[in-house]
Amino acid sequence: MGKQNYIECERKGLEKLINFRLPHYFYTIGILVAGLSIVLMFVRAFAMEGDTEWLKLILQKTLLVGMLFMSVSRDKDEDEMVVKLRMQSYTYAFVVGVIYALIMPYVEYGVSNAMKPEGEAFHDIGDFQLLLFMLMVQLMCFHALKRMR
């Protein structure tokens, strides 16, 4: 393989990695999966009896998968500006997510102990809570930035 071919091959590989996004129809699939997960979460909480902890854990995961599909699928009118806005929204989500993970345990502990004297013990937030929050921030920021463009 010549030097030029090698460079071209590397460039194509890098472009594939940079431009990775799911097709737009995954956005609709994501909405359906996330929506169905939320509905089933309510059904589990209010209409089901017995030990359904396993279902709760599965629904948490499907909700995250649905939101991830929404997050990484192409926009209907995808162009370089939309790509830039999406990257910016990931930056916001990451920064806000780190701040949330640092502050929220103290807020939860404070609120819990202020409400009742024997409040909850101090504990860090869970991975589901953090990932859900970051995905929500990313999706909201992305849509807000698109409206502002």
Interface segment toward another protein; rule CB under 8 A; list 21-29, 38-46, 61-69, 76-84:
76-84
Shortest distance (Å) from residue 28 CB to another protein: 19
Interface with another protein (CB under 8 A), residue from 51, 53, 80, 118: 80
Cα atoms in the 13 Å half-sphere on the side-chain side of 111: 7
Count Cβ atoms below 10 Å from residue 26 Cβ, excluding itself.
Answer: 19
Q: List own/partner pairs for 86-92 with CB under 8 A and 24 or more apart.
A: 86/142, 88/141, 88/145, 89/137, 89/138, 89/139, 89/141, 89/142, 89/145, 90/138, 92/137, 92/138, 92/141
Could you say which of 38, 40, 82, 104 contacts another protein (CB under 8 A)?
82
> Does residue number 18 form part of the binding site for another protein (CB under 8 A)?
no
The interface region with another protein, picked from 2-10, 72-80, 99-107, 119-127 by CB under 8 A, is 72-80
Q: Is 143 in the site for another protein (CB under 8 A)?
A: no
CB of 149 to another protein, least distance (A): 5
Q: Whole-angstrom Cα distance, residue 33 to residue 108?
A: 29
Is there binding between residue 145 and another protein (CB under 8 A)? no
Give the residue from 33, 55, 61, 31 showing the smallest Cα distance to 43: 55
Total residues binding another protein (CB under 8 A):
8
Binding site for another protein (CB under 8 A): 77, 79-82, 84, 146, 149
